[in-house]
Amino acid sequence: MRHGNRTFKIGRTGAHRRSMIANMLKSLIMHGRIETTVTKAKALRRFADQIITVAKGDNGLTARRTAIAELKVSFNPLTPKEARAAKKGDTSAYARDRLVINKLFGELRERFATRNGGYTRIIRGADRIGDSAPKCYIEYIQ
């Protein structure tokens, strides 16, 4: 039985909700702070904290593959010329998705290494002009 196991649906279909959360999560990882509605931020917070916990785990490749699946990352193959440049440190040929995974398992993993949870904060803002939806900022804490 599914008693008490309710999914926070945000008024969207399952596929739309998963894609929206994945896109917002990528933006949050890349920029550290995004502006959205309070309802979406509360739904995103759960996934944002979970992805940091996955990155902190000692599973190596398993953790990377779990994060790639959660973020719906698509790796486009590099040409041989781009691969040689990337080996030398030039990441300009990388798609945004590769940079997200690198930042998650590099900078964010180290930043939260000693913290046991509560990686995000929601800061309320003014209501949106058009429909008076309550807006907020969601960010990774320092």
From 111, 91, 100, 107, select the one nearest 29 (Cα to Cα).
100
Which is more confident, 84 or 2?
84
From 36, 22, 66, 52, select the one nearest 113 (Cα to Cα).
52
Q: Which domains does the chain have, with CATH numbers?
A: 14-140 (3.90.1030.10)
Mean pLDDT over 92-119 rounds to 91
Each residue's pLDDT tens digit, 23-56: 999 999 999 999 999 999 999 999 999 999 999 9
- Residues 107 and 110: their CA atoms lie apart, in Å, by 5
Percent of the chain with pLDDT over 90: 70
- Backbone φ and ψ for 123, nearest 5 degrees, come out as -115, 115
Cβ(100)–Cβ(6) under 8 Å?
Answer: no
- Residues 77 and 81: their CA atoms lie apart, in Å, by 11
The count of C-alpha atoms lying within 13 angstroms of the C-alpha of 22, restricted to the half-sphere facing its C-beta, is 17
Q: Does 86 score more than 90 pLDDT? A: no
What pLDDT score does 95 carry?
78
What is the DSSP secondary-structure string of 60-124?
A: THHHHHHHHHHHT--PPPPPHHHHHHHHTT--TTS-HHHHHHHHIIIIIHHHTTT--S--EEEEE
Label residue 6 by pLDDT band (50, 70, 90).
confident
What pLDDT score does 58 carry?
79
- Find the helix packing angle between 61-71 and 96-103, rounded to 10°: 130
